[in-house]
Amino acid sequence: MDKTGVLFVCLGNICRSPLAEGIFLDMIQKRGLADRFEVDSCGTGGWHSGEPADPRSVAIGRKHGLELRHTARHFNPRLDPGRYPWIIAMDRSNVRNLIAAGASAGQIRLIRSFDPALTGKQERELEVPDPYEWADEGFEIVYQMLAAACTGLVEVLVDELES
Protein backbone atom coordinates (compact mmCIF):
# COMPACT_ATOMS: atom_id res chain seq x y z
CA MET A 1 0.00 0.00 0.00
CA ASP A 2 1.37 3.38 -0.99
CA LYS A 3 1.45 6.04 1.70
CA THR A 4 0.14 9.55 1.16
CA GLY A 5 2.94 12.05 1.70
CA VAL A 6 2.16 15.25 3.61
CA LEU A 7 4.83 17.88 4.18
CA PHE A 8 4.18 20.88 6.44
CA VAL A 9 6.31 23.93 5.65
CA CYS A 10 7.06 27.19 7.42
CA LEU A 11 10.04 29.53 7.43
CA GLY A 12 12.51 28.04 9.90
CA ASN A 13 10.83 24.73 10.79
CA ILE A 14 10.86 25.31 14.53
CA CYS A 15 7.47 26.89 15.37
CA ARG A 16 4.49 26.40 13.05
CA SER A 17 5.31 23.43 10.83
CA PRO A 18 6.49 21.08 13.61
CA LEU A 19 3.36 21.96 15.57
CA ALA A 20 1.16 21.28 12.52
CA GLU A 21 3.00 18.00 11.95
CA GLY A 22 2.41 16.96 15.57
CA ILE A 23 -1.28 17.87 15.46
CA PHE A 24 -1.81 16.03 12.17
CA LEU A 25 0.07 12.93 13.37
CA ASP A 26 -2.01 12.85 16.55
CA MET A 27 -5.24 13.10 14.57
CA ILE A 28 -4.38 10.31 12.13
CA GLN A 29 -3.09 8.08 14.95
CA LYS A 30 -6.36 8.50 16.84
CA ARG A 31 -8.22 7.42 13.69
CA GLY A 32 -5.95 4.39 13.20
CA LEU A 33 -4.57 5.79 9.94
CA ALA A 34 -0.94 6.52 10.80
CA ASP A 35 0.28 3.67 8.59
CA ARG A 36 -1.42 5.29 5.56
CA PHE A 37 0.64 8.49 5.68
CA GLU A 38 4.22 9.67 5.48
CA VAL A 39 4.36 12.97 7.36
CA ASP A 40 7.20 15.44 7.84
CA SER A 41 7.89 19.15 8.15
CA CYS A 42 10.60 21.48 6.94
CA GLY A 43 11.49 25.12 6.49
CA THR A 44 12.11 27.25 3.43
CA GLY A 45 15.11 28.68 5.28
CA GLY A 46 17.88 26.45 6.55
CA TRP A 47 19.34 28.43 9.44
CA HIS A 48 17.64 26.26 12.12
CA SER A 49 18.52 22.92 10.47
CA GLY A 50 19.43 20.33 13.08
CA GLU A 51 17.74 22.20 15.93
CA PRO A 52 14.76 20.96 17.95
CA ALA A 53 11.38 22.68 17.79
CA ASP A 54 11.06 26.02 19.58
CA PRO A 55 10.49 25.37 23.31
CA ARG A 56 7.24 27.35 23.13
CA SER A 57 5.90 25.06 20.40
CA VAL A 58 6.97 22.06 22.46
CA ALA A 59 5.22 23.50 25.54
CA ILE A 60 1.96 24.27 23.72
CA GLY A 61 2.03 20.83 22.13
CA ARG A 62 2.54 19.21 25.52
CA LYS A 63 -0.34 21.29 26.93
CA HIS A 64 -2.56 19.67 24.29
CA GLY A 65 -1.20 16.15 24.76
CA LEU A 66 1.32 16.17 21.91
CA GLU A 67 4.95 15.14 22.09
CA LEU A 68 6.94 17.05 19.46
CA ARG A 69 10.02 15.00 18.67
CA HIS A 70 11.41 17.12 15.93
CA THR A 71 14.65 18.12 14.26
CA ALA A 72 14.43 21.07 11.89
CA ARG A 73 15.43 20.63 8.29
CA HIS A 74 15.51 22.65 5.10
CA PHE A 75 13.19 21.97 2.15
CA ASN A 76 14.92 19.67 -0.36
CA PRO A 77 13.77 20.66 -3.88
CA ARG A 78 15.24 17.49 -5.43
CA LEU A 79 13.47 15.02 -3.13
CA ASP A 80 10.53 16.59 -1.30
CA PRO A 81 8.18 17.41 -4.22
CA GLY A 82 8.28 13.82 -5.44
CA ARG A 83 7.95 12.31 -1.99
CA TYR A 84 5.18 14.58 -0.69
CA PRO A 85 2.34 15.30 -3.12
CA TRP A 86 0.70 17.39 -0.39
CA ILE A 87 2.90 20.35 0.51
CA ILE A 88 1.11 22.37 3.16
CA ALA A 89 2.44 25.90 3.67
CA MET A 90 1.77 28.20 6.59
CA ASP A 91 1.75 31.50 4.68
CA ARG A 92 2.00 33.04 1.23
CA SER A 93 5.70 33.79 1.67
CA ASN A 94 6.31 30.07 2.19
CA VAL A 95 4.35 29.36 -1.00
CA ARG A 96 6.47 31.81 -3.01
CA ASN A 97 9.69 30.39 -1.57
CA LEU A 98 8.62 26.82 -2.33
CA ILE A 99 7.78 27.67 -5.94
CA ALA A 100 11.08 29.54 -6.32
CA ALA A 101 12.85 26.42 -5.01
CA GLY A 102 11.19 24.25 -7.65
CA ALA A 103 8.03 22.85 -6.07
CA SER A 104 4.94 22.72 -8.26
CA ALA A 105 2.31 25.34 -7.41
CA GLY A 106 -0.31 22.62 -7.94
CA GLN A 107 0.83 20.59 -4.97
CA ILE A 108 1.13 23.51 -2.50
CA ARG A 109 -1.81 24.59 -0.36
CA LEU A 110 -2.12 27.02 2.51
CA ILE A 111 -3.00 25.06 5.63
CA ARG A 112 -5.91 27.24 6.65
CA SER A 113 -7.58 26.63 3.28
CA PHE A 114 -8.65 23.32 4.88
CA ASP A 115 -10.43 25.04 7.79
CA PRO A 116 -14.14 24.70 6.94
CA ALA A 117 -14.92 27.89 8.87
CA LEU A 118 -12.77 29.86 6.39
CA THR A 119 -14.36 28.65 3.15
CA GLY A 120 -14.51 31.47 0.63
CA LYS A 121 -11.97 33.66 2.43
CA GLN A 122 -9.26 35.53 0.54
CA GLU A 123 -5.83 33.92 0.43
CA ARG A 124 -4.37 36.61 2.69
CA GLU A 125 -6.88 35.55 5.37
CA LEU A 126 -5.67 31.95 5.23
CA GLU A 127 -2.20 32.53 6.65
CA VAL A 128 -0.89 31.27 9.97
CA PRO A 129 1.23 34.09 11.40
CA ASP A 130 4.73 33.29 12.61
CA PRO A 131 4.67 33.43 16.44
CA TYR A 132 8.48 33.47 16.76
CA GLU A 133 8.61 37.08 17.97
CA TRP A 134 5.39 36.85 19.97
CA ALA A 135 4.79 36.26 23.65
CA ASP A 136 3.87 32.73 24.69
CA GLU A 137 0.10 33.21 24.28
CA GLY A 138 0.66 33.64 20.54
CA PHE A 139 1.57 29.97 20.35
CA GLU A 140 -1.87 29.03 21.70
CA ILE A 141 -3.50 31.16 19.00
CA VAL A 142 -1.39 29.43 16.35
CA TYR A 143 -2.21 26.02 17.86
CA GLN A 144 -5.94 26.70 17.57
CA MET A 145 -5.56 27.80 13.93
CA LEU A 146 -3.55 24.70 13.10
CA ALA A 147 -5.88 22.31 14.92
CA ALA A 148 -8.92 23.60 13.01
CA ALA A 149 -7.06 23.41 9.70
CA CYS A 150 -5.63 19.94 10.37
CA THR A 151 -9.12 18.66 11.17
CA GLY A 152 -10.23 19.73 7.70
CA LEU A 153 -7.07 18.41 6.07
CA VAL A 154 -7.54 14.99 7.65
CA GLU A 155 -11.12 14.88 6.32
CA VAL A 156 -9.99 15.77 2.79
CA LEU A 157 -7.23 13.16 2.80
CA VAL A 158 -9.41 10.43 4.33
CA ASP A 159 -12.01 11.12 1.62
CA GLU A 160 -9.25 10.80 -0.98
CA LEU A 161 -8.06 7.49 0.52
CA GLU A 162 -11.59 6.09 0.47
CA SER A 163 -12.34 7.07 -3.12
Beta bridge partners of 5: 38
Compute φ and ψ for 4, nearest 5 degrees.
Answer: -85, 120
85, 107 in Cβ contact below 8 A?
A: yes
Rounded CA gap, 123 and 110, in Å?
A: 8
Tell me whether residue 130 is one of the annotated catalytic residues: yes
Active site residue 42: no
Contact 25, 39 (CB under 8 A): yes
Q: Which of 16, 56, 109, 112 is catalytic?
A: 16
**Contact, 15 vs 23, CB < 8 A?**
no
Q: Is 10 a catalytic residue?
A: yes
Q: Which one of 40, 54, 115, 130 is the catalytic residue?
A: 130
Cα 116 to Cα 27: distance, rounded to the nearest angstrom: 16
Catalytic residue list: 10, 16, 130
